[in-house]
């Protein structure tokens, strides 16, 4: 059984430190589980006999079957004793939400050492300590201890996230909810005494609800590098992109990360080299991570690196071309027969190279002609479709044309829609049709380039997996 199975899919959960005080960590966790989790929930606290309508137990040892997971939210100094009870009760998985361990200095380190000792003695797998734990939109597990009026939960989806920072993870969750991006599972392992990035990958690889894997990594635990590489390769071979945001890339960032989460296995240069070699998609900024994830969840993989930049705004075409070239996309020249066919169908002032510039007086029909002609000839593997919503002759039909072409030719299309309120409405129409839309050409191109990189890495990983 995979290490994380009991965390994401327990039959029952004991919440140690459950509370009836609204807003407290022990209250919110019970409340969220009660509302969302499909298995049994057992509050544990000697002070209460009932919490939120659920029977409350004096100790973990009293909790009945079925129970596979303990969520521990008590003061740090009480955690070792609780872990002993968890072990005695035969529970094999614990999420230690409590802070006050290695992150607070020598005293906490000692406490953390005891926590590890006890968990090993009983064979308990541990998430944490000092973490927000797990959120699973499919099983309903949710230990994120902020109520939904403060922290929204995203809809069910296929993106799973593992993050060394709980705060970042919770902010992203809230952001995804606002954007309507679908989440499968989220995991924050805090001080990482046991469960780590490798376990996360291991689980996500076989999870049918996970298609795209996002990770915020400050540093792997020493000795885990090889396992991480192996798992990442396996994920990629299985067609699941691994998208990483690395914290601690500079000297001072590294120092800040070291004071944030203790373990630091290697300098950034090594990570960077590994990411490249393995085919992990490294992103530079947090917003880019979601731009990229969005493309992966909506589009077929490009079959190669040739891209068409189709615009009606010369300047946006230029910026898209700059970024395409910088990020390794091939802004191929249009074959002569394509140019000739376009020439015949489009007004003389339209530029039929690449970018194709339909110019400011375009209508939807020009977009249809350009898409159809280029894709029919198999001249590119992807399209950056720059479609400003402002020209009066643009009715929005371009959305349908793009969708239709994507279906018939299997070529991914990303849309660029820049502007204000009308642009946002137009972008929504693209996304409702399954075409990811971005507010700038730079962001769209980066997302598409990540897909091209992944497609290459997948090919490579698949062939080496089948050899081994």
Site for a second copy in 206-235 (CB under 8 A): 216, 218
Give the containing element (helix H, strand E) for 431: helix 421-432
Task: Give the interface size with a second copy as a residue count (CB under 8 A).
Answer: 84
Q: How far is the CB of 351 from a second copy (least distance, A)?
A: 6
Residue 256 touching a second copy (CB under 8 A)? yes
Residue 142 touching a second copy (CB under 8 A)? no
Q: Which is nearer to a second copy, 134 or 331 (CB)?
A: 331
Among 87, 182, 248, 302, binds a second copy (CB under 8 A): 248
CA distance 467 to 434: 36
* Footprint (CB under 8 A) of a second copy, residues 338-377: 348-349, 351, 353, 355, 357, 359-361
Q: How far is the CB of 346 from a second copy (least distance, A)?
A: 13
Contact 191, 132 (CB under 8 A): no
Q: Which is nearer to a second copy, 57 or 172 (CB)?
A: 172
Q: How far is the CB of 251 from a second copy (least distance, A)?
A: 7
Residue 377, helix vs strand vs coil:
coil
CA distance 310 to 367: 8
Among 318, 345, 431, 456, binds a second copy (CB under 8 A): 318
Cα distances (angstroms) measured from residue 165 to each of 228, 257, 391: 18, 10, 44
Q: Express the helix, strand and coil content of the chain in percent, nearest 5 each.
A: 45, 15, 40
DSSP string, 382-422: EEEEE--S-STT--SHHHHHHHHHHHHH---EEEE--SSHH
CA distance 357 to 72: 60
Q: How far is the CB of 88 from a second copy (least distance, A)?
A: 30
Residue 304 touching a second copy (CB under 8 A)? no
Among 61, 322, 365, 431, binds a second copy (CB under 8 A): 322
- From the list 33, 27, 31, the residue with the least C-alpha distance to 13 is 33
Q: How far is the CB of 230 from a second copy (least distance, A)?
A: 26
Residue 422 touching a second copy (CB under 8 A)? yes
* Footprint (CB under 8 A) of a second copy, residues 42-101: 99-100
CA distance 235 to 229: 10
* Footprint (CB under 8 A) of a second copy, residues 155-184: 163-168, 170-172, 174-179
Q: Which is nearer to a second copy, 1 or 178 (CB)?
A: 178
Q: How far is the CB of 42 from a second copy (least distance, A)?
A: 25
Distance of CA 412 to the CA centre of its chain: 20
Q: Which is nearer to a second copy, 237 or 320 (CB)?
A: 320
* Footprint (CB under 8 A) of a second copy, residues 261-290: 261, 284-287
Contacts of 384 (CB under 8 A, 6+ apart): 307, 308, 309, 310, 320, 324, 413, 414, 416, 441, 444, 445, 448
Q: Which is nearer to a second copy, 116 or 318 (CB)?
A: 318
- From the list 385, 382, 373, the residue with the least C-alpha distance to 335 is 373
Q: What is the Cα gyration radius of the chain?
A: 25
Contact 111, 135 (CB under 8 A): no
Contact 124, 91 (CB under 8 A): yes
Among 47, 120, 156, 251, binds a second copy (CB under 8 A): 251
Q: How far is the CB of 100 from a second copy (least distance, A)?
A: 7
Residue 196 touching a second copy (CB under 8 A)? no
Q: Which is nearer to a second copy, 132 or 406 (CB)?
A: 132
Residue 247 touching a second copy (CB under 8 A)? yes
* Footprint (CB under 8 A) of a second copy, residues 26-45: none
DSSP string, 109-129: HHHHHHHHHHHHHHT-EEE-S
Q: How far is the CB of 295 from a second copy (least distance, A)?
A: 17
Q: How far is the CB of 107 from a second copy (least distance, A)?
A: 9
DSSP designation for 191 = T
Q: Which is nearer to a second copy, 151 or 238 (CB)?
A: 151
Q: Which is nearer to a second copy, 238 or 286 (CB)?
A: 286
Residue 443 touching a second copy (CB under 8 A)? yes
Q: How far is the CB of 389 from a second copy (least distance, A)?
A: 8
Q: Which is nearer to a second copy, 207 or 381 (CB)?
A: 381
At CA 261, angle to CA 258 and CA 243, rounded to 5? 100
Q: Where are the alpha helices (DSSP H) in 299-363?
A: 314-326, 336-345
Which range touches a second copy (CB under 8 A), out of 65-73, 223-231, 256-264, 403-411? 256-264
Residue 334 touching a second copy (CB under 8 A)? no
Residue that the structure tokens 């541990």 belong to: 126
């Amino acid at each position: 059984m995979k290490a994380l199975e009991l965390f994401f899919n327990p039959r029952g959960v004991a919440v140690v430190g459950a509370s009836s005080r609204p807003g407290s960590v022990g209250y919110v966790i019970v409340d969220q589980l009660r509302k969302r989790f499909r298995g049994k929930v057992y509050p544990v606290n000697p002070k209460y006999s009932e919490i939120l309508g659920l029977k409350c137990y004096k100790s973990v040892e009293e909790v009945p079957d079925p129970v596979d997971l303990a969520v521990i939210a008590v003061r740090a100094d009480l955690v070792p004793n609780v872990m002993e009870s968890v072990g005695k009760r035969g529970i094999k998985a614990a999420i230690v939400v409590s802070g006050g361990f290695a992150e607070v200095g020598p005293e906490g380190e000692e406490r953390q050492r005891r926590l590890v000792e006890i968990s090993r003695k009983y064979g308990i797998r541990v998430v944490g300590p000092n973490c927000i734990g797990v959120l699973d939109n499919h099983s309903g597990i949710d230990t994120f201890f902020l109520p939904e009026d403060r922290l929204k939960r995203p809809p069910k989806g296929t993106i799973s996230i593992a993050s060394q920072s709980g705060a970042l993870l919770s902010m992203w969750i809230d952001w995804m909810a606002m954007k309507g991006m679908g989440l499968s599972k989220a995991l924050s392992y805090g001080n990482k005494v046991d469960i780590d990035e490798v376990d996360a990958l291991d689980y996500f690889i076989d999870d049918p609800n996970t298609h795209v894997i996002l990770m915020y990594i400050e540093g792997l635990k020493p000795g885990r590098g090889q396992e991480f590489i192996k798992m990442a390769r396996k994920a990629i071979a299985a067609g699941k992109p691994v998208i990483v945001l690395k914290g601690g890339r500079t000297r001072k960032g590294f120092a800040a990360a070291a004071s944030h989460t203790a373990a630091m296995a290697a300098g950034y240069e090594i990570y960077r080299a590994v990411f490249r070699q393995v085919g992990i998609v490294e992103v530079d900024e947090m917003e880019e991570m979601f731009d990229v994830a969005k493309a992966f969840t909506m589009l077929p993989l490009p079959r190669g690196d040739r891209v068409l930049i189709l615009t009606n705004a010369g300047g946006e075409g230029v910026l898209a071309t700059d970024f395409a070239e910088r990020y390794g996309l091939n802004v191929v020249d249009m074959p002569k027969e394509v140019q000739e066919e376009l020439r015949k169908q489009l007004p003389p002032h339209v530029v039929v190279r690449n970018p194709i510039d339909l110019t400011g007086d375009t209508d939807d029909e020009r977009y249809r002609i350009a898409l159809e002609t280029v894709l029919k000839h198999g001249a590119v593997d992807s399209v950056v479709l720059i479609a400003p919503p402002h020209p009066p002759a643009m009715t929005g039909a371009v959305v349908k044309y793009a969708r239709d072409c994507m279906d018939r030719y299997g070529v991914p299309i990303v849309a660029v829609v820049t502007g204000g309120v009308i642009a946002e409405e137009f972008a929504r129409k693209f996304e409702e049709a399954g075409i990811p839309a971005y507010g700038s050409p730079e962001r769209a191109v980066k997302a598409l380039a990540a897909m091209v990189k992944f497609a290459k890495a997948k090919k490579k990983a698949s062939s080496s997996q089948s050899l081994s």
